[in-house]
Amino acid sequence: MPVITNIYDLKRLHKRRTPKMFYDYCESGSWTEQTFRENVTDFDKIRLRQRIAVNMEGRSTATQMIGQDVAMPVALAPVGLTGMQRADGEIKAARAAEKFGVPFTLSTMSICSIEDVAENTEKPFWFQVYTLKDDDFMRRLLDRAKDANCSAIVITVDLQIMGQRHKDLKNGLSAPPKLTPKSIADMVTKVAWGLEMLGTKRRFFGNIVGHAKGVTDPSSLSSWTAEAFDPALDWDRIATLRRMWDGKVILKGILDVEDAKRAAEIGADAIVVSNHGGRQLDGALSSIRMLEQIVEAVGDKVEVHLDSGIRSGQDVLKAVAMGAKGTYIGRAFVHGLGAMGEAGVTKALEVIHKELDVSMALCGRRDIKEVDRDILLVPEDFAGRWA
């Protein structure tokens, strides 16, 4: 059993144990991957202020996200095809999250369906929807989420059309994977993955196949995906989608102050400052660089969350200190899942929690709710001066 001390240990195991097509799907950004890289490296530019002689007993990382109690301000981000990283991956990740006491967000493009995840977990989870053209399908998705007792809807607003990730095209990404000499040669080296996959019936897009019109077999799915997203999306449509759900709504994929203001106006309960993990507009600024100005503009009107680039508890601490009320991890939990299944997701959460807790203490704070900008040393030009 390898000793896991950080997320990168899990990443190495994920790479070794998962077919290349799915590891690459996770570990890539669009085009040159500049934004994907900078999401991570920009966190490193922020430093922490070491303080001493502060009582460190009785610490707490517990807080709330959209009024829901969380063991730490970290949720699992919606990640498509999670059930291809490991058999029944969404169920495993959701179970790890609920045991840990953090929210799990199920992607529309999951392998396990909403109903499957609900049947195999105890607590309500969040459901992410893309902005699709088909109103009927959208309503049915939301009805299914309501029936499954989902406690919030996350509307992803930064993927009207899809950013290109070169590796997915080169690998011929599909779910389930197409059997070609190349993919077979790769999969025979991932024995445990293959045996687990053979043991489950969940190998297709569970929320789509059999639910969306015209998609009765998986081979028509890729064309449905290309056609289903709504390139004509505008703020009126987002407002309509917001009204379709009478509970909490989180708008995910805001990276601009003006967009954040519009999101607050239409009554979102939270926004996620996000560039989709660097998978959409390559060349956009990292989320952490944009965070402070967005918090300044709308932080008193709407809860501001952040994702993209979080690989450690220190990253979470930095985002919280800059005003985020919550954060999300995408790749960090997927590395755990690909490495060790449910136990790996738990490990990822434990690693992040420990890093967060110890760093917070060494910055002289005992309660995450007391963490503020004062614990940081941020380069003066961090947000950048852009004309």
Q: Which residues bind ligand FMN (CB under 6 A)?
A: 25-26, 39, 77-80, 107, 109, 128, 156, 252, 274, 276-277, 279, 307-310, 329-332
Tell the residue number behind the tokens 């899942």, with chain if given: 337
Nearer to ligand FMN, 253 or 323 (CB): 253
Q: Find where tokens 């953090």 sit.
A: 102
**Cα–Cα distance measured from residue 383 to residue 292, given in angstroms and rounded to the nearest whole number:** 8
CB 99 within 8 A of CB 72: no
Instruction: State the Cα–Cα distance between residues 243 and 85, nearest whole angstrom.
Output: 34
- Closer to ligand FMN at the Cβ: 245 or 364? 245
**CA end-to-end span of the chain, whole Å?**
52
Q: Based on CB atoms, which residue is closest to ligand FMN, 81 or 187?
A: 81
Q: Please say which residue, 117 or 329, places its beta carbon nearer to ligand FMN.
A: 329
75 or 298: CB nearest ligand FMN:
75
Shortest reach from residue 202's CB to ligand FMN, in Å: 16
Residue of 329, 334, 337 lying closest to 77 (CA atoms): 329
Cβ of residue 370: shortest distance to ligand FMN, in angstroms?
A: 25
Catalytic residues: 276
Determine the 3-state secondary structure of 36 from DSSP. helix
Cβ-closest residue to ligand FMN? 330
Residue 217 CB, nearest approach to ligand FMN (Å): 21
> Least distance (Å) from ligand FMN to the CB of residue 307?
4
8 Å CB contact between 218 and 207 = no
Q: Find all residues with CB under 8 Å of 132, minimum gap 6, and list them.
A: 138, 228, 229, 230
Helices (H), the chain: 7-17, 20-26, 34-45, 82-85, 89-100, 114-119, 135-147, 166-171, 181-187, 191-198, 221-228, 235-244, 257-265, 287-298, 313-321, 331-362
Nearest distance in Å: CB 143, ligand FMN = 20
* DSSP tag of 162: P
Tell me how far, at minimum, the Cβ of 26 lies from ligand FMN, in Å.
4
Q: Which of 18, 33, 41, 11 is nearest to 309 (CA)?
A: 41
Q: Is the dihedral of CA 350, 156, 147, 215 positive or negative?
A: negative
Identify which of residues 25 and 193 has a Cβ nearer to ligand FMN in the complex.
25
The radius of gyration computed from the CA coordinates of the chain, to the nearest angstrom, equals 20
